[in-house]
Amino acid sequence: ADPVVKIDSGEWSGKMRVQYDTYEASSLASGSDISVARLPKGAKVYDIVVHFDALGGSSTVSVGDSGAAARYIAATSTASAGQMSMSQEGAIAGVGYENTAETDILLTTGSAAITGTIKCVVMYTVE
């Protein structure tokens, strides 16, 4: 480009960082938030992977933050054990999304109470 525009270091040769969390739900009500990572200001999210037990008959989980409950992954059925990932089912607006303040990544339950194990990996850059 003219003039030259420098690339943000988080997008070129940046260091990928990972936060991992496990949560054991026990009759957790629909509409509950589970905080699985706290990202620093300026963090850019590139992938989130969630593994889960069969959590309940018509249960769903979405992945987002306080600004948008489904910023990264829309509500996905968790009735059967499985996984969801931003790179497969994710919202395009969440890819490379830059947090303007310290932000918690939230799993939000929906449709029914949940019981079971949830494991979550959040991959992001900060530079």
pLDDT in tens, 10-38: 566 678 999 999 999 999 999 999 999 99
Q: If you search the block for the tokens 């059925």, which residue do you land on?
A: 77
Q: How far apart are CA 75 and CA 43, in angstroms?
A: 23
pLDDT in tens, 33-74: 999 999 999 999 999 999 999 999 999 999 999 999 999 999
| Amino acid identity for residue 59 in this structure | S
Q: How far apart are CA 11 and CA 94, in angstroms?
A: 15
